[in-house]
């Protein structure tokens, strides 16, 4: 199995979804990704993750690029767009299908909610409802609704060492279940798209929120099946709002335009976010380049026993 070499040039990525303006959590993730790559003499790829065609808007595609540039979070390659990558996803999907590793799933959201078992993560475990349908049953159900496509997972543990959270393991069958690689509307699922894109774009360093930690074993398994290299992963703490709810693009006070109005300059925004998250020793105004001198990824919380969320303020 091919693994990203530790001696290979570091290639990080910004991978925003153009569904709204950037907020403080997005800035924190992009800043950390930039610092991880640049502190090792690496590069940054910009990928616009616009798989969700209904929610992705051209105005936000333009805005996110302007926002990153205004903050000094420059990139070296891209932007790439997932909507241009359908054939690459299809080739990977076809390989899995030809090997008998996917099957049609006719379950509705209500079916999944009613049948799924609870587990330690945020998402329910798919119980395999459609895995063993006969050809006749599949044909009959296909008359009623278009199926999604699920990847068969083994009863097997996938483990890795995260650069922030430490050792993490997941039993694919018990903690995840067979997962989607293509939606019922024909769009390819995030898990498949992201591993194909990371490999094609040479990404060796993935920095993202800890809420996506539980997705990583699925992506590692897909990389294994497709013969793709494994990047290094760093799942960083979440910025949260009131009642420990993670920040979203609905939190107007944490939106980038509100931050610029409050702190007046991009350097002040960068410095404040760096200071409250531990990327810098204080909340003094700074450019990303100025933070490189003291950047230490180990300064972030490292395990689930420590603080893994930082309250936005």
311 among the known binding-site residues? no
SS3 167: strand
pLDDT at 305: 43
Residues (pLDDT < 70) of the chain are: 1-7, 114-122, 241-253, 301-313
Pairing label, strands 77-81, 232-236: unpaired
106 among the known binding-site residues? no
49 among the known binding-site residues? yes
- Close Cβ partners of 158 (under 8 Å, ≥ 6 residues apart): 169, 170, 171, 172, 217, 220, 221
15 among the known binding-site residues? yes
13 among the known binding-site residues? yes
137 among the known binding-site residues? no
pLDDT at 239: 82
Whether the CB-CB separation of 276 and 288 falls below 8 Å is answered with no
**Percentages of the chain per state (helix, strand, coil), in multiples of 5:** 40, 20, 40
d(CA 161, CA 186): 34
- Close Cβ partners of 30 (under 8 Å, ≥ 6 residues apart): 14, 16, 22, 68, 71, 73
Domains of the chain, with CATH numbers? 11-84+237-311 (3.40.50.620), 99-182 (3.90.800.10)
Q: How far is CA 94 from CA 69, 158, 184, in A?
A: 38, 24, 16
81 among the known binding-site residues? no
- H or E, element range at 273: helix 266-277
93 among the known binding-site residues? no
Predicted model pTM: 0.90
């Amino acid at each position: 199995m091919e693994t990203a070499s530790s001696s290979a040039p570091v290639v990080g990525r910004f991978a925003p979804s153009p569904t709204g303006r950037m907020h403080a959590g997005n800035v924190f993730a992009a800043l950390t990704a930039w610092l991880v790559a640049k502190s090792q003499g690496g590069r940054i790829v910009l990928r616009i993750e616009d798989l969700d065609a209904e929610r992705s808007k051209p105005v936000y595609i333009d805005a996110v690029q302007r926002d990153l540039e205004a903050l000094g979070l420059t990139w070296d390659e891209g932007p790439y767009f997932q909507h241009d990558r359908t054939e690459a996803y299809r080739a990977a999907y076809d390989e899995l299908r030809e090997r008998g590793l996917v099957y049609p799933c006719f379950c509705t959201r209500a079916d999944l909610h009613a049948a799924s078992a609870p587990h330690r993560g945020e998402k329910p475990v798919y119980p395999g409802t459609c895995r063993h349908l006969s050809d006749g049953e599949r044909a009959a159900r296909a008359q009623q609704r278009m199926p999604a496509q699920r990847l068969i997972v083994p009863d097997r543990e996938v483990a890795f060492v995260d650069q922030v959270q430490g050792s993490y393991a997941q039993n694919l069958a018990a903690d995840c279940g067979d997962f989607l690689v293509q939606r019922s509307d024909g769009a390819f699922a995030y898990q498949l798209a992201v591993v194909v894109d990371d490999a094609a774009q040479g990404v060796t360093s993935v920095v993202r929120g800890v809420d996506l930690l539980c997705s990583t074993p699925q992506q590692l398994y897909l990389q294994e099946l497709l013969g793709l290299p494994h990047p290094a992963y760093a799942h960083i703490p979440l910025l949260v709002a009131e009642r420990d709810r993670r920040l979203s693009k609905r939190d107007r006070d944490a939106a980038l335009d509100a931050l610029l109005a409050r702190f007046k300059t991009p350097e002040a925004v960068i410095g404040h976010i760096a200071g409250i998250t531990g990327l810098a020793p204080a909340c003094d105004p700074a450019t990303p380049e100025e933070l490189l001198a003291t950047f230490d990824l180990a300064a972030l919380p490292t395990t689930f026993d420590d603080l893994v969320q930082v309250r936005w303020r």
